[in-house]
Chain A
Amino acid sequence: MKKNILLAITLFICVILQETWMYGLRIGNAQPNLVLLFVVFYALFYGWQGGALLGFCAGFFMDLCSGYYIGLTAISFMVTGALIGLFVGEFYEENYFIIALAAALGSLLNAIIYWFCIYLLGNQVPFWQSLFHNFLPNMLYNCVIACIVYVPLLFFYSNKRE
């Protein structure tokens, strides 16, 4: 129960920061996605089921708070969380390469899934242009931010576990 409350508070803070501070951290077209990174980290530690569940909650919460298509972010986060949890499996906590790789993969997967859903809903957004102008810069930025954010997050959760 305590864990769930802590998780909910963290998620809430991430969503608030995502919609306020992260916009200020834009570099060109790239903007870090703190909520997605949180989902990816969670999926790394708790597997595909945890990743999918948190991805769904986080995405749905974001959709309700500020979304246009209610459910699209939930789909992309949920699928991303599940796939990251499935692909990465067990890893050594202090392996920053895996963290960066998971963040990059998660970022790209999320963007592609979202694009695909949008495409299915009838919005013709050019894929390659989106890939080079948004997906890849976002991926790189998230990669960097993941490494920066992961250190205090790991410290915090390690202490909580102890």
Chain B
Amino acid sequence: MSKPGAKGKIAITCLLVIALFFLARATGGERGDLSFVETILRDITAPFKSGAMFVYDKVSGIPEFFTSRNALKEQIAELEQKNEELQLEVNRLTEAAIENTRLRQLLNLQEELAASWDPVATKVIAYHDESNRQTVTINSGEKDGLQIGQAVVAKEGMVGRITAVSSNTAEVLLILDKEGTVAALEQASRTPGVVEGAGLGKQELYMLHIPYDAPIAKNRTVVSSGLTDTYPAGLRIGYITNIEVESGGLMLKATLRPFVDFDRLEEVIVLKPRGGNAES
């Protein structure tokens, strides 16, 4: 039997189309059951379809995993930024609260001192911690009536005295400096002595020339005695941390821890004596 030619093939195709059409017409509409071939084929293909769906579910979950991951990342970044902003806000408010407390204490001190002194509140604008000289610069000067020798205090206690003034600034020699001597007395026993800085950048003071039998003890407060015109009496200087015999063996020497934290000195008060110069 010879193979059909092109025309024959076209004719077969047309016949097949017609046959299929009638098949479709016969099978369309409500059918009670599927044919045997349909049932078999559907059963055979079912596991493959379910496998494909399983893979599809897994694969289609991947973009969602990434998108949700990205969304989470964005959310985390957003929250981190918000957290950072809130942290900054907290810092700002904390700073404001601390400053408020500090200024309130300074104001109280200013009011206390105002009876006999003319206090000028000012700010420290520079620190100079050199090996041979410990000073700070404040942003008030001659224009504000500041003069050399005037005492500078902070809310915690004594800071130092002015050693140089310009029209807008002044240099304050800290009591930490060896040159920053102050006439003092141990508050409880009223034992007199001279307080000077330990120098060399140490946050320590020495109280010298204490009588050998003076009833002083550790942790007691030392205040200014007011024997000089520079400092008013009763200004807190520091507390005793150690007592030892001076090199001569006749006097005692006490080591003091200053009340003022000189590393965190921000606002200070300059005490201008009422109606007089404080040249030392």
Contacts and interface: CB of A to CB of B under 8 A. Distances in A.
Given A21-B56, A120-B21, A69 B41 contact: no
Nearest to B60: A24
A65 B37 CA distance: 9
Nearest to B54: A20
Interface stretch (B45-53, B97-105, B208-216, B237-245): B45-53
Nearest 7 Cβ contacts at the A-B interface: A71-B20, A71-B23, A69-B24, A71-B24, A20-B52, A70-B27, A69-B28
Contacts of B56: 20-21, 24
A105 interface: no
A56 interface: yes
Contacts of B37: 64
A16 B27 CA distance: 23
Contact of A117 (B19, B24, B45, B49): B24
A64 B28 contact: no
A21 B38 CA distance: 22
A43 interface: no
Contacts of A12: 45, 48
B128 interface: no
Interface of B: 9, 13, 16-17, 19-25, 27-28, 35, 37-38, 41-42, 45, 48-49, 52-53, 56, 60
B41 A64 contact: yes
Nearest to B50: A20
A64 B45 CA distance: 11
A72 B42 contact: no
A127 to B, nearest CB: 19
A52 B52 contact: no
A35 to B, nearest CB: 13
Given A20-B56, A64-B38, A117-B21, 12 more contacts: A17-B52, A21-B56, A61-B41, A65-B38, A65-B41, A71-B20, A75-B20, A75-B21, A75-B24, A78-B17, A117-B24, A121-B25
Contacts of B24: 69-72, 75, 117, 121
A82 interface: yes
B121 to A, nearest CB: 73
Contacts of B42: 64-66
A124 to B, nearest CB: 14
A61 B45 CA distance: 11
A70 B19 CA distance: 11
A15 B42 CA distance: 12
A16 B45 contact: yes
A160 to B, nearest CB: 23
